[in-house]
Structure 1
Amino acid sequence: MKTKSLNSSTVLLMAVSAAIVVANINYIQPIEADIAQQFNLANAVVGAVAMLTQLGYAFGLLLIVPMGDIMNRRTLIMRLLILAIVSALLAFIAPNIWLYAFASLLIGITSVAPQVIIPYAGYLAPAGQRGRVLGNVLSGLLVGVLLSRTVSGVLASFMPWQWVYLIAAVMIAGLWLVLWRKLPHDPVTTHQTTYREMIRTVPKLVKKYPVLRASAVNGFVLFGVSNIFWATLVFYLQHQYGWGSREAGLFALLGVTGVLAAPLIGRLADQFKPRTIIGVGLILSTLAYIVFGLFAAHVWGLVLGIVILDLGTQFGQVANQTRIQSIDAKASSRFNSVFMFGYFMGGALGSFFGNLFWGLAGWYGVCGLAIVVLVIGFYAHFIHYPHVVRHQATSLNR
């Protein structure tokens, strides 16, 4: 029997940890223009480097995060933080785009500690409070995404952009020291499955649980359209207003609405069907792009659209996490791995194709791309997956 060791201060520590580490993968977005200028690159090339970070994160999710089901999760988290420090330092010293691209890939791979922390929090939380606990930890994750863009953009406006990564390395080192003393010890002390056996079970879990497939597709769509916007915002601000990385970073602060809403969304996911909450996320994200397409030429239009988009992303994130962490606690890390792999594959492709469509068709091309992706999301959620998810109870008993 597991021993519950989760209190409010522990949940707060987990949320702060998720924020600091996940920030690594988003520092590049507001400074893409600065990187392109320093290395004399086309915007699309820098977009490909940003995609490398997201791809690295996705494959870290697929190959590293499942280890949380077969080894001491506290130990895994501490080791990942050390690797994240090394990756950030490599990005800081990179003298050319090739080494920086390699560092960006490593940053993605080694920054998956929050995705071990999230199922760990869900595992330790009482069943009736799982949505609330996950909502609080995920709000920390969103704070990291939010502040990473702001810090990166503002710092790069008055110092070399590389210093962002040195500051990141110092922050993670400080976090490591705190977690060494405060992070709860994993109550599960023995694991019978080897890494190879565990990895082989992942495709079987995807096949067995339709709700897991549905969540992965939904995460792909919602984070994909989020990154389509954030990867191209700095270029739109340059084109429309003559602004730069500082303003792009400051716009990211508007995501505080999603942070504040996350605990409430978690409670809603405990009280209502998570699938209903996910549908709300799709509707909000679509509404955001309608606002971007019609009113982005006005600052208030950008502000309104960002608030709605971040709310839509957060509705989907919290509700999807709540339903996949309720399937089987023994495979919680693998469920999270599959879901977040789909989530960040969407983010990676959103970053790449967002930049590509910006170069081909400008802002309306970016908005059109997002709408097409959202149409796919609506089809999957409202037409395709309702049929297979209704058979979830049968699948669970097989």
Structure 2
Amino acid sequence: MPESNALPARLVGLMAVCCALAVSTIYYHQPLLPLMAASFGLTPTQAGLIATLTQLGYGTGLLLIVPLADWRQPRRLALLAIGANAVALLACAAAPNFALLCVASFMLGVTAITAQLIIPALSSLTTPAARGRVVGTLLSGLSAGLLLARTVGGLLGEHTGWRSVFLLASFADALLLVIVARNLPSIARLSPIRYGTLMRSLGSLLREERVLRFCAASGFLTFAAFSALWATLAALLTQPPYAFGAATIGLFGLVTVLGIAASPRIGSWVDRLGARALAVAGAVTLVVGFVFIAAGGLSLAWLIVGMLLLDLGNRAGLVANQSRVQTLRAEARSRLNTVFMSAYFLGGAFGAALGNYGVHRAGWIGLAAVGALLALAATVINAVSSPETPVTLVDSQS
């Protein structure tokens, strides 16, 4: 498919569904952490290690596997990753002790990278003018995956046990395998370079592309702030004054519905208004959101407003930064995506660990303090980042 052709809406929508199914596997555990902790005689905050390891695994998979898509067909890589992910899900379901569950969770993250193979592949096949909208649609699929995982995971986990959730997810991988095999387009232009050269080029890209450095730092801090909430929310909601069960906690994933609907529009705003301005706005929205989160232990209404603001802020930052990164070098889009998304999900692991520390020290206030500081740092990074370069100019130079 020539790069000048517009992508069919059906294909973009179908690949958004694939992104949802692929990314959902790294979020099923979030509403289940109290149940998992109870089955191994741990506290919910101790079980938070699962969230950290899953995010670390995902960052590792992005770093070690996704660059191969500039050298090998993304479709073939995706099929191998999906198969390995199904095995990791089964290992989680069957884990006899917490140590093995930790290992399986890390491998689950490593192999859950199919969405990050799809996004640069489709981005390389669309026109520069439509790239923000396409990326926004695919990221709305990612968001739908989060909603699916948190809501279904919580509801199913409370009634049938947390192990059944991972078993069901492995069957969903079988459906994903069929859709990707039949529909993900092949890429005509691939770089004829070896894996070692690809990996070394990641450092070169980071040194040479100032915009990439700023976007990676922004993504790290933004998702760290966002993950600080979601990695600790279940533990907080099982405590007074709420004392909710896993099914009720899973329903909090419905808060993301508004953000899912807004993702394509956010992508259009990137095309019209510029990515840097939107990234700054997203980071500021996160800061405001954590002001509401600080009162989350006092009022459910404050908590939900805060969650809405955090979801919109994180989504705006992700769409803006990822769209910006994809304009830099047409021949290295998978590697650019690797650098950005590795930083993004390593930030998620960092935020999950820091959020657990904040909750352990001071509950809702501790969580809000951690998240607000991370979001403030992201605001500064975005505000001082390099000015925009016209997308059409960058693509013509590629």
Output the TM-score relative to the length of structure 1. 0.94
Determine the structure 1 residue equivalent to 2:203.
203
Q: Shift of the alpha carbon at 1:179?
A: 2.2
CA distance in 2, matches of 1:135, 1:380: 22
Check conservation: 1:43, 1:355, Cα contact below 8 A: no
Determine the structure 2 residue equivalent to 1:227.
227
Within 5 Å, give how 1:43-54 maps onto structure 2: 43-54=44-55
Summarize deviations over 1:224-243 as a string: whole Å, max 9, x none.
11111111111221222111
TM-aligned CA distance change 1:5 to 1:90, over 3 Å = farther
Instruction: Give the AA of the match of 1:139.
Output: S
Summarize deviations over 1:316-348 as a string: whole Å, max 9, x none.
111111111111111000111111111101111
Determine the structure 2 residue equivalent to 1:25.
26
CA distance in 1, matches of 2:83, 2:349: 24
CA distance in 1, matches of 2:295, 2:96: 41
Helix, strand or coil at the partner of 1:186: coil
Determine the structure 2 residue equivalent to 1:351.
352
Instruction: Give the AA of the match of 1:349.
Output: F
Check conservation: 1:357, 1:366, Cα contact below 8 A: yes
Check conservation: 2:297, 2:364, Cα contact below 8 A: no
Check conservation: 1:219, 1:317, Cα contact below 8 A: yes
CA distance in 2, matches of 1:43, 1:158: 19
* Stretches of structure 2 lacking an aligned partner (at least 5 in a row): none
Determine the structure 1 residue equivalent to 2:332.
331
Instruction: Give the AA of the match of 1:381.
Output: N
Determine the structure 2 residue equivalent to 1:316.
317
CA distance in 2, matches of 1:94, 1:5: 46
Q: Shift of the alpha carbon at 1:120?
A: 0.7
TM-aligned CA distance change 1:145 to 1:30, over 3 Å = same
Check conservation: 1:5, 1:184, Cα contact below 8 A: no
Determine the structure 1 residue equivalent to 2:272.
271
CA distance in 2, matches of 1:88, 1:247: 24
Identity among equivalent positions (%) equals: 35
Determine the structure 1 residue equivalent to 2:98.
97
Q: Shift of the alpha carbon at 1:88?
A: 0.7
Determine the structure 1 residue equivalent to 2:212.
212
Within 5 Å, give how 1:92-241 maps onto structure 2: 92-188=93-189, 191-239=191-239, 240-241=241-242
Helix, strand or coil at the partner of 2:327: coil
CA distance in 2, matches of 1:181, 1:333: 21
Return 127-136 or 238-247, whichever deviates more.
238-247
Structure 1 runs of 4+ aligned residues shifted over 3 Å read 1-5
RMSD: 2.1
Q: Shift of the alpha carbon at 1:295?
A: 5.1
Helix, strand or coil at the partner of 2:185: coil
Summarize deviations over 1:8-45 as a string: whole Å, max 9, x none.
11101110001001011111111111111110113333
* Stretches of structure 1 lacking an aligned partner (at least 5 in a row): none
Helix, strand or coil at the partner of 2:188: coil
CA distance in 1, matches of 2:168, 2:174: 10
Q: Shift of the alpha carbon at 1:301?
A: 1.2
TM-aligned CA distance change 1:5 to 1:380, over 3 Å = closer
Determine the structure 1 residue equivalent to 2:88.
87
Check conservation: 1:44, 1:352, Cα contact below 8 A: no
Aligned residues: 394
